[in-house]
Amino acid sequence: QQLMTADQISNLLAKDRQYVWHPFTQMKDYEQRDHVLIQRAEGIFLYDAWGRKYYDTVSSWWCNVHGHGHPRIKEAIHKQLHAFDHIMFSGLTHAPGITLAERLVQLAPEGLHKVFYSDNGSTAVEVALKMSFQYWQQVGNTTKTKFIYLEGSYHGDTLGAVSVGGVEQYHALFKPLLFHGYKMPAPDLRAAGGHTLADEAIVAEQALAPVRELLQLEAEQIAGIIVEPMLMGAGGMIMTPAHYLTELRKLCSAHQIHLIADEVATGFGRTGTMFACEHAGISPDILCLSKGLTAGVMPLAATLCSDTIYAAFYDDYMTQKTFFHGHSFTGNPVACAVALASLEVFEEEAVLERIQLTIRALETALHGSGLAALPYVANIRQLGLVAAFDLYEDAQRKMPFPPEKRIGAAIYEAGFEEGLILRPLGDTIYYWLPHCATPEDVSDIVSRTLRVLNKVL
Ligand code: PLP
């Protein structure tokens, strides 16, 4: 591909400043730096308009799975566009949407038999919340109207999703617009010290105690609890014990509460298993999927639910039990075709087996590279293809850097010079690797990160 001229690049970047408002971005900062204008993407690499290449260590906001530009995905898009493009999914149906629903039901934890499509992670969550709420209204438990969520949880940016969001920095401002719920502590494994199963169980039980108490008193008010199983991403790459989930499953069943698993980020192999719920061997009542569903290539989401939930909506039209929810792009056929192709790649390339090598290489690189010995690094942690560590002014005493130092932002900038797209969450540095990453990529990424840290700190 021909590179752009310097004039073309500066022209585009000037228009970027003039017209575009980027997500999760302080535009005053953004306007004061040189921008990375991406021109090409292949495998784990992004290439900018100057021809420089960068490791996409965060899988393009945790979406990309098989690497950029996978031929099977491109072929699926062409084939579907040749047949038909977008059509509405209300009153009409199509093979990619039907076949994908069947495949998702086969792959998902057992008991999830119906698939409701939408188009991004936040809408998958909105669907889950509304579905749960309406279910209880329709089965006569009309006081069950509230949701439990965890401190540090992130479920998206639409108002329902923000209502069950626990990251103060993103969510606090909007409180007057939100519905009220119960925020419970997260079972953060960083508190588990030695990380034996017994330590993990202690952390889990500490976080479960207030949930048990609340359910004893107020289960009649509560529709569901929403969690990011095993790994709470945007809240700071908080890894949580399987024990928490198994106990939560029991509590939800005992108290008639929906367990809603938000696997928008963790689904499709990212944690080493197809779905993170598998680490705990549990099935939720409702499962939210997006991001990796289409290998991170097209916007699509799916909310899966049990037959019991579905049955409460199934009646004569005049009973007013219809689920009145839908989006213009619900069940987009091109996105569904891409998702099917991605699942085929999972099988053809034995992706879940192959990534185990990468996962082990990541573990070796994290613990054998000298990272752990750095005086400002603490809490190195990993689940599957995701790894994180926290930066402190004094790691031993867990003394944080003053916020005005904006260490994360400096690391982000320096990452580009070392060919890395890093997107620290505050002072937490993390990798969210695509499944196409090789063991060699992993060790190169960690070495480059060490150089970035040495430069900034
Ligand atoms: N749920 C989780 C766990 C997420 O990590 C995200 C996004 O990062 C969302 C929901 C929202 O997804 P989207 O950004 O596609 O709306």
Closest CA to 238 of 277, 296, 191: 191
Q: What is the pLDDT of residue 191?
A: 81
Q: What is the pLDDT of residue 155?
A: 98
Cα of 63 from ligand 1 centre, angstroms: 10
Any ligand 1 atom below 6 A from CB of 153: no
Helices 333-348, 351-368: axis angle to 10 degrees equals 70
Give me the mean pLDDT over the 21-34 stretch. Answer: 90
The two structure tokens encoding residue 104? 């998702």
- Judge contact between 14 and 4, C-beta under 8 A: no
Question: What is the number of alpha carbons within 13 Å of residue 105 lying toward its C-beta?
Answer: 16
- Which range is least confidently modeled, 64-68, 124-128, 352-356, 399-403? 399-403
- CATH class for domain 36-66+351-456? alpha beta
The number of the ligand 1 atom at minimal distance from the alpha carbon of 291 is 15
Q: What is the pLDDT of residue 197?
A: 82
Number of residues written out for the chain: 457
Read off the pLDDT of residues 154-202 as tens digits, 9 standing for 90 and up.
999 999 999 999 999 998 999 999 999 999 999 999 987 767 888 899 9
Mutate to test the pocket of ligand 1, among 122, 126, 289, 430 (most ligand atoms within 8 A of CB): 122
Please give the Cα distance from 263 to 387 (Å, whole number). 17
- Judge contact between 358 and 439, C-beta under 8 A: yes
Q: Judge whether residue 243 has pLDDT over 70.
A: yes
- Judge contact between 415 and 377, C-beta under 8 A: no
Where is pLDDT greater, at 418 or 171?
A: 418
Phi and psi based region of residue 240 (left: phi greater than 0; alpha: psi -120 to 50; beta: remaining): beta
First to last CA, the chain: 37
User: Which residues of the chain are in CATH 3.90.1150.10 domains?
Assistant: 36-66+351-456
Residue found by looking up tokens 């990541």 in the block: 362
Residue found by looking up tokens 């994908």 in the block: 100
At 106 the three-state DSSP class reads helix
Any ligand 1 atom below 6 A from CB of 355: no
- Which range is least confidently modeled, 32-36, 78-82, 266-270, 392-396? 32-36
Please give the Cα distance from 301 to 115 (Å, whole number). 10
Give me the mean pLDDT over the 353-368 stretch. Answer: 97
Please give the Cα distance from 419 to 445 (Å, whole number). 9
Which ipTM score applies to this complex?
0.99
Any ligand 1 atom below 6 A from CB of 155: yes
- Residue stretches of the annotated binding site: 61, 121-122, 154, 262, 291, 326-328, 423
Read off the pLDDT of residues 73-106 as tens digits, 9 standing for 90 and up.
999 999 999 999 999 999 999 999 999 999 999 9
What confidence tier does 449 reach under pLDDT thresholds 50, 70, 90?
very high
Read off the pLDDT of residues 282-333 as tens digits, 9 standing for 90 and up.
999 999 999 999 999 999 999 999 999 999 999 999 999 999 999 999 999 9
Contacts of 157 (CB under 8 A, 6+ apart): 122, 170
Give me the mean pLDDT over the 332-357 stretch. Answer: 98
Centroid of chain to Cα 112: 20
Q: How many of the other CB atoms lie within 10 Å of CB of 138?
A: 19
User: Which residues of the chain are in CATH 3.40.640.10 domains?
Assistant: 72-348
Burial label for 197, CB within 10 Å (0-12, 13-18, 19+), is exposed
Q: What is the pLDDT of residue 194?
A: 63
Contacts of 337 (CB under 8 A, 6+ apart): 76, 77, 79, 80, 96
Please give the Cα distance from 353 to 273 (Å, whole number). 9
Q: Which CATH architecture has domain 72-348?
A: 3-Layer(aba) Sandwich (3.40)
Closest CA to 164 of 177, 153, 174: 153
- Judge contact between 130 and 122, C-beta under 8 A: no
Please give the Cα distance from 422 to 435 (Å, whole number). 17
Any ligand 1 atom below 6 A from CB of 264: yes
Q: How many of the other CB atoms lie within 10 Å of CB of 353?
A: 8
Which protein residue has the closest C-alpha to ligand 1 atom 13? 121
Cα of 315 from ligand 1 centre, angstroms: 32
Measured in degrees and rounded to the nearest 5, phi and psi for residue 389 equal -150, 160
Q: Is the dihedral of CA 307, 308, 310, 312 positive or negative?
A: positive
Q: What percentage of residues in the chain have a pLDDT greater than 70?
A: 99
Cα of 24 from ligand 1 centre, angstroms: 13
Any ligand 1 atom below 6 A from CB of 121: yes
Q: What is the pLDDT of residue 192?
A: 76
Q: Is the dihedral of CA 367, 281, 341, 289 positive or negative?
A: negative
Long-range contacts of 27-35 (CB under 8 A, 24+ apart): 29/409, 33/413
Q: Judge whether residue 207 has pLDDT over 70.
A: yes
Which protein residue has the closest C-alpha to ligand 1 atom 5? 265
- Judge contact between 58 and 432, C-beta under 8 A: yes
> Alpha-carbon dihedral of residues 61, 63, 66, 67, nearest 10 degrees?
-30
